[in-house]
Structure 1
Amino acid sequence: MIEIGLTGWSDHGTITPDPKRKLMDYASHFPVVELDTSFYAIPPGKNVARWIESTPADFQFIPKAYGPLTTHSRRAEETRSLDELFTLYIEAFRPMVESSKVKAFLFQFPPLFSCVRENVDYLRKVRQIMGDWPVAVEFRHKSWFSEEFREGTLQFLKEMQFINVVVDQPQTPDNSIPFVPVATNPDKTFIRLHGRNYEGWLGDDSVDWRTFRTLYDYSAEELATIKEAALALEKDSKEVTIIFNNNSGGHAAPNAKTLQKMLGIEFEGLAPRQLHLFE
């Protein structure tokens, strides 16, 4: 099975025009969404409850791990211990897991998280703490898939039952990994598409790189290569989930729709479309 979704539901005006029902409108188009707000803060229970209630029974989320849980820099006001943060994060999302609305938790590690013993041990800790909950791992340091460590990395991900996040992004010197279309979990594999804006990924301080980074419109030819990779991965993993993160210019939703058409798939169990008079 192949599913397609986007990062967040607020930045896609072509499919979520009504500011009062963005998530509901989103859920009428796609069956899964990456929840990126949880990277910046652990959400309160009322928010999680609202997201569960606002979506169809089969709709699923991919909550991103809170930044400190993936060794990203802490804000000055964040003084809670790592163990406490893990506990709070797990308790926040327990209702979503128990409602079968979590596809997997996305642990995206920063460019400084290289392939060294200390970080391998940290990944073991993540698995121990997260228990049997599904965890997808995305690296940003090229050492994990270097010639020296590639096979060891893939074998380790398999042993830990981690989901390999197959990343499509520009091949910049310091913050990217190659496209490695290998399934490490028999149940789930993710393909995460960041676009191919090389200049944006360099992180030039002279521009607003956070919004410029994902400014990219995939061509039909490029989407065709993603299609073939997804079909190949489907042979080794029951579910292949493709997430478009090229949000800056509003290209994610149209690109996702194009790929869906190319794959010839229809999503079941979506929310009903809102009727707009005089369209």
Structure 2
Amino acid sequence: MGDILVGTCSWTDRELVRSGWYPVGRRDAEGRLRHYAERFPVVEVDASYYALPSARNSLLWAERTPPGFVFDVKAFSLLTGHPTRNAALPEELRGGPRGPGVLDEVWERFAAGIAPLRRAGRLGSVLFQFPPWFRPGATAEEFLADCARRTRGWPVAVEFRHPAWWSAERGGATRALLARYGMAAVAVDMNRTLPASVPPVTSVTTSRLSVVRFHGRSAAWGTGSKEERFRHAYTDAELAEWVPRLRALAERVERIHALFNNCCGDAAVRAAEALTRLLGPAGAR
């Protein structure tokens, strides 16, 4: 049976820091990461979506965490087709047209920024979370093919936010597409009553890894403020729904990352603690 690693989608979120979950004396950058890594074996780096990661930070993260701890790094916004502010780009790339040369340079800098994690064996995956308008079709498949070419040799996970990717009619083709490139499919837990709701499909597309991201079940998903979208405290009953699904996935893959994205106060870390307890010592580490 594969390992089930449970964690959260950030350890630096301001609301988490303000919640008091980090004890006095461990609220600086180093102390927070060490405290988190003593309690969970995996974390997602969400800051890399907003700004290119730096090799120096990656090296420090590897040094400040125990052997076996891994980081899932979220792909920079420009690499997934999201709007990207000029201020998020390196200074010398701002202001001009964003042609192929700029994109090539951004890819190179992203790769250099995560290189220390790769060398240390601490890169769990690079998460490509595509925008809601990234719908199935030839253009999207060409984009994915380019991503696969540029990330050859990396552990990659893909989250689609357009529900058509995992519809009953399209799901098989989506699984085959990701399997062709060795990319792990990301399953999601979210409010299931909205037009943009992605179904909680747990597809295995590579034997190495499966990822589940818990977004919370707020009805404000996609419309409200960040706090409204992610304000959800998972109950034990809601988490218990996922225990048999995660165990079934663990029969088919070497490793599962179960990550909580309901980053509002300490809700994500509390949910991660609860899921770890529900899985029991044989089900999570």
Output the TM-score relative to the length of structure 2: 0.88
| Match 1:218 to one of 205, 224, 234 | 234
Match of 2:148 in 1: 127
Measure, in 1, the Cα distance between the counterparts of 2:50 and 2:193: 25
5+ residue gaps, structure 1: 269-279
Count the aligned residue pairs: 263
Confirm whether residue 87 of structure 1 aligns to residue 108 of structure 2.
Answer: yes
Measure, in 2, the Cα distance between the counterparts of 1:242 and 1:27: 15
Match of 1:3 in 2: 5
Match of 2:83 in 1: 73
Give 1:56 shift. 1.1
| Match 2:42 to one of 32, 37, 42 | 32
- Compared CA separation, residues 262 and 3, structure 1 to 2 (3 A): same
5+ residue gaps, structure 2: none
CA deviation vs aligned residue, 1:120-155 (integer Å, no higher than 9, x gap): 111011011001111000010111112331110011
- Compared CA separation, residues 124 and 15, structure 1 to 2 (3 A): same
Q: Which deviates more, 131-140 or 44-53?
A: 44-53
Give 1:43 shift. 2.1
Give 1:230 shift. 0.3
Q: Secondary structure at the match of 1:213?
A: helix
Give 1:19 shift. 1.2
Letter in 1 for 2:52: I
Q: Secondary structure at the match of 1:194?
A: strand
Confirm whether residue 47 of structure 1 aligns to residue 57 of structure 2.
Answer: yes
Measure, in 1, the Cα distance between the counterparts of 2:50 and 2:196: 20
Match of 2:273 in 1: 257
Measure, in 1, the Cα distance between the counterparts of 2:167 and 2:235: 28
Match of 2:223 in 1: 203
| Match 1:154 to one of 138, 151, 175 | 175
Output the TM-score relative to the length of structure 1: 0.89
Paired residues for 1:99-110 under 5 Å: 99-110=120-131
| Match 2:254 to one of 224, 234, 238 | 238
Measure, in 1, the Cα distance between the counterparts of 2:120 and 2:104: 25
CA deviation vs aligned residue, 1:84-114 (integer Å, no higher than 9, x gap): 1111100111111010000110000010111
Measure, in 2, the Cα distance between the counterparts of 1:172 and 1:64: 27
Measure, in 2, the Cα distance between the counterparts of 1:176 and 1:124: 26
- Equivalent pair of 2:54/2:114 in contact (CA under 8 Å): no
Give 1:172 shift. 5.6
Percent identity for Structure 1 against Structure 2 = 33
- Equivalent pair of 2:187/2:202 in contact (CA under 8 Å): yes
RMSD over aligned CA atoms reads 1.7
CA deviation vs aligned residue, 1:56-98 (integer Å, no higher than 9, x gap): 1211100000001000002134446111111110011111101
Match of 1:16 in 2: 22
- Equivalent pair of 1:141/1:174 in contact (CA under 8 Å): no
CA deviation vs aligned residue, 1:253-278 (integer Å, no higher than 9, x gap): 1111111111112776xxxxxxxxxx
Measure, in 2, the Cα distance between the counterparts of 1:179 and 1:216: 17
Measure, in 1, the Cα distance between the counterparts of 2:58 and 2:176: 34
- Equivalent pair of 1:214/1:245 in contact (CA under 8 Å): yes
Higher helix share: 2
Q: Secondary structure at the match of 1:165?
A: strand
